[in-house]
Structure 1
Amino acid sequence: MSSQNINSESQAPPRTPLSDEQRRFLDSALRVNQAGELAATLIYTAQTPPVVKAHPHLRSLMKHMYDQEAGHFKTFNELLAKHRVRPTAMYPVWQAAASVLGWTTGMMGREAAMACTEAVETEIGNHYNGQVRELFRWMQELKDKGEELDPELKVLIDDIKRIRDEELEHLDHALENDAKEAKPYEPITDIIRYGCRSAIWISERV
């Protein structure tokens, strides 16, 4: 090994392991994210047949959003395995609830299906933003101490930011396709947003 490499290694900031509190945060974050992406794939699976039957031109959009959610789900499955995090014990409940929500809003029509997407993605976008802020806070605190976050967590931040941006893209698609024309708009979105918050709270803990 060259002296240049030795010097660069000796000058690199030390990497600090996660504290117990940070480990708990990461475990709960990944558990919730995986459950949320599972739910998203099931919602689109149930919505797509009735929506596309009534509006064939939406086939490619529904497939695009489903494919992105399936990719997100795959990413978080891999992250759960890598970081040895157990899935939420509520997994079967969220599976059933997501399928029912998707089927119900799909049968109510395009506007209701899009209102569902708007509500879900609003909550999920806020949730991912909170995770990104927390992870950046860790990085800043370590930087202030002359230490460095594990490179794998830097990759995790990039993954969450990318997934968040794709979820917000879905929100834009929903608004472009008359989500706010759903009848009744406010009860639909309020119930779904409250349900998402409740599911996040429960999955963080169970």
Structure 2
Amino acid sequence: MELITPTTSRSVQYGCDEQLLERVLTPYKPHCRYLTAATLTRQGEPRDGGRVSARGEFTIPESCYIDDTGHFNAVEFNLCFNQLVYYLLAKSVKERTMWPFNTWTLDEYWARQLPDILIVDFRSTFRRAMRGHGFWGEIDVVGIDERDGDGGSIVLVSTLCRYGEEDMPACHGGVRLAVRTTRTKAA
């Protein structure tokens, strides 16, 4: 049974949903599934100044694309971000934690996970070397905005993220996603 813990009157924490995590990681090759556990915290609605956050535990036993560099790098940063943000969004759909994902079904999310969630801006900054064999990562959704385009509505999701070992952050970044959504037709 999943733990749901109120952390304040306006904050709710959702424990790791192992079945959901397994499904989120299905598109990844087995040796590239770095996210091992994740929790979600909701503190209000991001489009109204609130925040939805995910914290994940990761392990990278070996690089999926290069000989061992000895440190966590930008490619791994991006892969770990993708895995944790996919979990964050899927959990947001399941628990109805933030707009517009609170109107989707999980079947809609699975159909959209790869083709409709796009990184449009990506920044990463490394402050110190991190080994990457066992570490944590966090993503905060800090803003959501909707734009109309030729192909329908696009939701822009602004995030801040960071990774570290033990209590020491090692790198951080900001990633903006564009999520294609179905335009609602007026009645």
Higher relative contact order (CA 8 A, sep 6+): 1
Scaled by the length of structure 2, the TM-score of the pair is 0.26
Between Structure 1 and Structure 2, whose CA radius of gyration is higher?
Answer: 1
Scaled by the length of structure 1, the TM-score of the pair is 0.24
Higher strand share: 2
Higher helix share: 1
